[in-house]
Amino acid sequence: MVNKKIGKELNEEEGKRGWLRLPLPFLLVFPAIFVLSIVILYPLISSSFLSLFHYELTKPNEIEFNLLTNYKNMLHDDTFWLAFKNTLIFTGVSVVVSLVIGLIGAIAIDQLPERFAGLRGVVLVPWIIPGVVVGFLFMLIFDVEVGIANVILKHAGIIKEFLPWLMDEHLAMIAVIVANIWNQVPFYILMFTAGLKAIPMDVKEAAIVEGASRWQEFIHVTLPYLRGILVITSLLMVIRNFNNFPIIYTMTGGGPVFSTTTLVIYIYRLAFEQFNLGYASAVGIVWCAVLLIVSMIYVKMLYKQVHG
Amino acid sequence: MLKKKWVPLTLVLVLVAMILTACGGGSSGQKSSDSQGTVEITFVNWATAEEATKQQMLDVIKEFEKQNPGIKVKNVPIPVGEQLNQLTIMTTGGNAPDIAQVHFDVGISLAAMGALEPNDNLLSKEFLDDVNKKLYDFGMYEGKHYLIPWVGHPLGFWYNKKLLQQAGLDPNNPPQTIDELTKAMEIIKQKLPNDVVPLQIDTTIRTLGLSHEWSFMSAFGTVPVDGDKVQANKMGPYAEWLRMLVQKGYTLPGKKFGEFRPLAAQNRLVFGFDGPSFKGIVQSFDKSITDEKFYETWGVTTLPVGADKKPYSAPDDHNLAIFKASKHKEAAAKFAEFLARSDFSIKTYVIPLGFLPTVQSAVQRFPKEFSDPARKAFIEKIVPAEVRLPYGPNYSKIATVVMAGMQEVITTNKPIPEILNNVQTKLEGIINGK
């Protein structure tokens, strides 16, 4: 009897120890996984489910399972394809131009004497301003009547009459891209500045000793060292710009007509202005799928960079 | 050894507890009753979000709480242009308010969702006998009543007498027809500085945009949707006129109608199409504008007419909606009646801000205050001209399609028939449930 009791106690103790033997990393990441499952996984599954239904909030008695009809309708939805195209334009131009300006800015800042170190902090200001505020700021800048953009351009003789930037189907996209570039260039400057600092001095000195010109140094020394940052940062900004809502919505609401409507704007309008939750969910799933592909590329590049 | 292993477990448990606490913390903000029997009702509104009306509304809320010690009002201000989005998100998120300020289109959309409580049995007989029947009926959906008229805000045709005089036009004889209006704007554009804007018209892709333009469309004889009949492809004359307005600089494209109000305060707007609060809002922009000075500058009448010689006014009235999810519907209804009918609310909010009362007894109780020139014009001429728009479950979609078409008219050179045929096709799809 005593031996049985002792044996039982030992088994119970081993059980407790077994539970405590769970890998520490798992225990530490559990809170994050728990939160992600609530705020990401559940909405994703819910949206996937909704995307299979004809579901309009204003017609609660007409909810109908329609399998892939929403996705089929998407193929013939001109506004969807326009939004997709706008998203590509907005994202592509923003990333490329921001990257170039950011790189130039980083190189310029890197050349600054140490006494101008404080300027680096000032450069970051546009990045920390919330998107909504940036939107309002540039909405005023591009206002047809009192916007400073028109005043400057007219004064410089570039335009003869004030342009309705936010109400011209071609100019509106330019305006929101300009605002977005202004907002995110500092991020590139920050990243490239860090990258420039990481370039070994002996490599630079060797290039100088070998008689390399500034341009040759940039092409053969600076750029190769920054390639990883360039790719990683750009992919990250593609993801960010695919999701950019506040600047566009604040400035133009996706207009005029739908000329600045991106996928995220379109989804918002479908869901909360037209109450078409089923179709909005379907568009959202497609949008997530595109982002997932980009994210996978990002993770792969990041992994390659870390592990060589 | 055991202590070392317990540390990560403890850490995990603490983090999870913190997360759960944070998630559950929102419940403390939900409407509730305390141990003394006091109930709290959530009131979503734009009255306290706009500087011109904020203080007056807060005073009214405070007075209501004073007169009803058992009811507390939790004020939630939202921008007027976001009412549809905000209330939809709140409702679908399970956080619907008890009562909200809404326009007709938003209210009917919420009713179609099943978000609102029919309020016939919640309102007192005294209120029902006193309320304006026309506005009351506008708040019906599928045989049930959902919207409680709060303040009247029909759109009237304001005209700037001083600028008309400067342009050589008769300041006391505003345009009576659309043709006269067009001619007047032509003269104004020739005679007055370029920074003067002839006409206020909303060309945004919003339900408010459609509401604002509906009256002009009606004056041209054809509205895009009439019941189940779609007739966008017959709106050519209106579309041509709208394009002309922008091309000749008679209005500012892409502006919300509220964005023209600062221009009015700066004496840079000739013809406004706005509600009775126009006066109060203009005065809020420029405190030096007294009532006397305002009426020296501005007059108001019905919108110029078209071929049918009938004036039209879209209802921009403010209503109150009680939500189905509310646990304090009776308290919400009591608050609604106070807002719409009480002496304090009328004296503090309705009268100073230029709104119209929605209860008939108000004019009898405050005859002097409601006898000013503008309000008389609204009550006697403009309110009778109000027409109900095609509010319903499809209204938001209809507004998006129509206003996108109108924006296409003013921002592109596409042939108008092509644009209107596209609008026609899309509207037919909406009406037919495709």
Predicted pLDDT at B283: 87
For residue A272, the chain B residues in CB contact (below 8 A) are: 84-85, 88-89
Find how far residue A296's CA is from the centre of its chain. 14
Q: Is the dihedral of CA A249, A253, A254, A260 positive or negative?
A: negative
Asked whether the predicted pLDDT for residue B208 surpasses 70, the reply is yes
Residue B34 has pLDDT above 70, yes or no: no
- Mean pLDDT, rounded, for B321-337: 94
Please check whether residue B83 touches A, CB under 8 A.
no
pLDDT band at residue A178 using 50, 70 and 90 as cut-offs: very high
Higher-confidence residue of B316 and B186: namely B186
Share of chain B above pLDDT 90, in %: 58
Looking at beta carbons, which residues of chain A come within 8 Å of B407?
Answer: 255-257
For the stretch B279-306, pLDDT in tens is 888 888 888 988 899 999 999 999 999 8
Adjacency order of strands within the sheet including B318-322: B71-77, B39-45, B99-102, B318-322, B147-152, B356-357
Q: Identify all chain B residues contacting A169, using CB atoms and an 8 Å cutoff.
A: 411-412
What does the mean pLDDT of chain B come to?
Answer: 88
A21 contacts in B (CB within 8 Å)? 5
Where along chain A do its domains lie? 78-128+176-307
Select, from the ranges A41-45, A68-72, A271-275, B218-222, the one with the highest average predicted confidence (pLDDT).
Answer: B218-222
pLDDT for A175 equals: 94
Strand order in the sheet with B156-160: B197-199, B269-274, B156-160, B298-301
Is B85 in CB contact (< 8 Å) with chain A? yes
Residues in Cβ contact with B236 at an 8 Å cutoff, skipping those fewer than 6 apart: B416, B417, B420
Chain B residues touching A167 at Cβ < 8 A? 253-254, 410-411
Q: Which residues of A touch B84 (CB under 8 A)?
A: 272-273
- What is the Cα–Cα distance from B218 to A73, expressed in whole angstroms? 34
Give the pLDDT of residue B5: 52
DSSP label of B358 = S
Annotation: CATH topology of A78-128+176-307: MetI-like fold (1.10.3720)
Q: Name the minimum distance, in Å, from the CA of A38 to any CA of chain B.
A: 10
**pLDDT surpasses 70 at A1:** no
Up-side HSE of residue A207: CA atoms within 13 Å toward CB? 16
B407 and A166 within 8 Å at the Cβ level: the answer is: no
Q: B258, exposed or middle or buried, with CB in 10 Å at 0-12, 13-18, 19+?
A: middle
**Best mean pLDDT range from A4-13, A198-207, B140-149:** B140-149
The larger pLDDT score, comparing residue A76 to residue A145, is at: A76
Q: For residues B299-328, give the mean pLDDT.
A: 92
Distance (Å) from the alpha carbon of A76 to chain B's nearest alpha carbon: 13
Judge whether A271 and A57 are in contact, CB under 8 Å. Answer: no
C-alpha distance from A145 to closest chain B C-alpha (Å): 8
Contact A258 B5 (CB under 8 A): no
Quick check: B407 contacting A, CB < 8 Å?
yes
CA distance A291 to chain B (A): 25
pLDDT band at B31 (very low <50, low <70, confident <90, very high): very low
Query: Over 50: is that where the pLDDT of B65 sits?
Result: yes
User: Are the Cβ atoms of B112 and A28 closer than 8 angstroms?
Assistant: no
Q: Is the pLDDT of residue B198 over 90?
A: yes
- Chain B residues within an 8 Å CB radius of A254: 205
Q: Is the pLDDT of residue B83 over 80?
A: yes
For the cut 90, the answer to whether the pLDDT of residue A247 exceeds it is: yes
How close A48 gets to chain B, by Cα (Å)? 17
- Across the range B374-391, mean pLDDT stands at 88
Extract long-range pairs of B277-281: CB within 8 Å, 24+ residues apart.
B277/B52, B277/B53, B277/B153, B277/B353, B277/B354, B277/B355, B278/B156, B278/B158, B278/B354, B279/B354, B279/B374, B280/B52, B280/B53, B280/B352, B280/B353, B280/B354, B280/B355, B281/B52, B281/B354
Chain A touched by B17 (CB under 8 Å): no
CA B418 to chain A, closest CA, distance in angstroms equals 15
- pLDDT value, residue B16: 67
Give the β-pairing of B225-226 and B229-230. Answer: antiparallel
Is the Cβ pair B88, A169 closer than 8 Å? Answer: no
Residues of B in contact with A60 (CB under 8 A): 113-114
Q: pLDDT at position B2, please?
A: 45
More confident residue, A201 or A3: A201
Q: Which residues of A touch B (CB under 8 A)?
A: 20-21, 24, 27-28, 30-31, 34-35, 38, 56-60, 144-145, 164, 166-169, 253-258, 269, 272-276
- B25 pLDDT band, cuts 50/70/90, is very low
- The DSSP symbol for B302 reads P
CB contact under 8 A, A58 and B19: no
**If you average pLDDT over residues A122-150, what whole number do you get?**
90
Q: What ipTM was reported for this prediction?
A: 0.73
Give A276→chain B minimum CA distance, Å.
Answer: 9
Which chain A positions have a beta carbon within 8 Å of B5's beta carbon? 20-21
